Amino acid sequence: MSSLLDADPLLLLRTVLGVAVMVLAVMVILRAAGVSLGAQPVLAIGRAIGQLAIASLVLSGVLSVPWTAVLVLVLMVSTASATSGGRLRPMPGGRAAAATGILVGGAAAILAVFALGLVELSARHAIAIGGIVIGNAMTASMLAGRSFRSQAQLRAGEVEAWWALGATSPVAFAEMARAAVRDAMVPNMDQTRSTGVVTLPGAFIGALFGGASPLEAARFQIIVLAAIMLGQGVAAVVVTRRLSRMRVLPAEPTG
């Protein structure tokens, strides 16, 4: 945080003005297209600024007391679970499914990275890997859950027919669950395929800015991509398996 306070005032001012211009441009473009999000873009950026400022303060303390990294990871999982759970709330057990998927998916990926010796075990690396993996597991949980709900609503007759034949809910929802997992994985698969050609991901750029060689930065990015894939795959499967236990069809979304 001290580095932020010691930063060039002109650089900070230019940053604030530049960000404001980009956010305003988004709002103007969307409004011109007939899409009104109100003040949501401004609020989103404002919230991000506040949260990053707090994170900077917290992380400066965490890095000096390594065991507190566990508390940061718990906070990440809790926040991600609340966010994803809110999206899946219309479905019975939606909140629990989201929380379980994020926890299991995030833990599987983080443990794999360190157990395989791909990255040195440290508070700094645990938080960096954990933040990326947990955030992506949250995204996969939401995508899988929303796709599952949509599939179940569109194929309600099929589900009810299975129930009428005496099938269990996991059997009745099986094909919908598989489709939902595929839907949740597609965005990350597309992004992974385009890495290095269309996009240069944050982990790669961050490693370069941190002084790593291009080869080492690429190695770290590949590890991150594989961890994201593992975390999302596990999260999506866990979420859909949990949702497949419901004995009623999900309600239509209200907003």
In a domain, 248, yes or no: no
Do residues 47 and 159 both lie within one domain?
no
In a domain, 180, yes or no: yes
Burial of 94 (0-12, 13-18, 19+ CB in 10 A): buried
Do residues 90 and 115 both lie within one domain?
yes
SS3 177: helix
Cα 91 to the center of its chain, rounded Å = 20
Do residues 45 and 12 both lie within one domain?
yes
One DSSP character per residue, 2-40 reads HHHHTS-HHHHHHHHHHHHHHHHHHHHHHHHTT---TTH
In a domain, 253, yes or no: no
Label residue 7 by pLDDT band (50, 70, 90). Answer: low
Amino acid 135: pLDDT: 93
In a domain, 250, yes or no: no
Residue pLDDT, tens place only, 57-75: 777 776 677 777 888 899 8
pLDDT, the chain, mean: 85
Do residues 100 and 210 both lie within one domain?
yes
Do residues 152 and 53 both lie within one domain?
no
Helices (H), the chain: 2-5, 9-32, 40-62, 69-87, 94-115, 123-154, 156-164, 169-172, 174-194, 202-209, 214-243
Lowest-pLDDT choice from 42-51, 52-61, 93-102, 185-194: 52-61
Out of 14, 31, 62, a domain closes at 62
What number is the average pLDDT over the span 69-97?
88
Is the C-alpha dihedral spanning 99, 88, 186, 151 positive or negative? Answer: positive
Degrees to nearest 5, angle at CA 168 with 164 and 171? 100
Do residues 145 and 86 both lie within one domain?
yes
What CA–CA distance (Å, rounded) separates 149 from 120?
A: 40
Do residues 11 and 31 both lie within one domain?
yes
In a domain, 181, yes or no: yes
Out of 42, 62, 82, a domain closes at 62
Do residues 70 and 55 both lie within one domain?
no
In a domain, 254, yes or no: no
In the numeric block, which tokens belong to residue 217?
């930065």
Do residues 49 and 84 both lie within one domain?
no
Out of 62, 84, 104, a domain closes at 62
In a domain, 251, yes or no: no
Do residues 224 and 128 both lie within one domain?
yes
* Contacts made by residues 191-194, CB under 8 angstroms, sequence distance 24+: 192/225, 192/228, 192/229
Count of structural domains, the chain: 2
- Specify the DSSP class assigned to residue 68: G
Do residues 27 and 70 both lie within one domain?
no
In a domain, 87, yes or no: yes
Q: For the full predicted model, state whether its pTM sits above 0.75.
A: yes
What CA–CA distance (Å, rounded) separates 123 from 68?
A: 8
Burial of 64 (0-12, 13-18, 19+ CB in 10 A): exposed
Give the other-Cβ count within 10 Å of 159's Cβ.
Answer: 22
Q: Which domain holds residue 55?
A: 1-62
Residue pLDDT, tens place only, 103-159: 999 999 999 999 999 988 888 888 889 999 999 999 999 999 999 999 888 888 888
Task: Let me know: does 119 contact 226? Beta carbons within 8 Å.
Answer: no
Label residue 255 by pLDDT band (50, 70, 90). Answer: very low
Residue pLDDT, tens place only, 190-231: 888 887 776 666 777 777 767 777 788 788 888 999 999 999
Residue pLDDT, tens place only, 10-38: 888 888 899 999 999 999 998 898 888 88
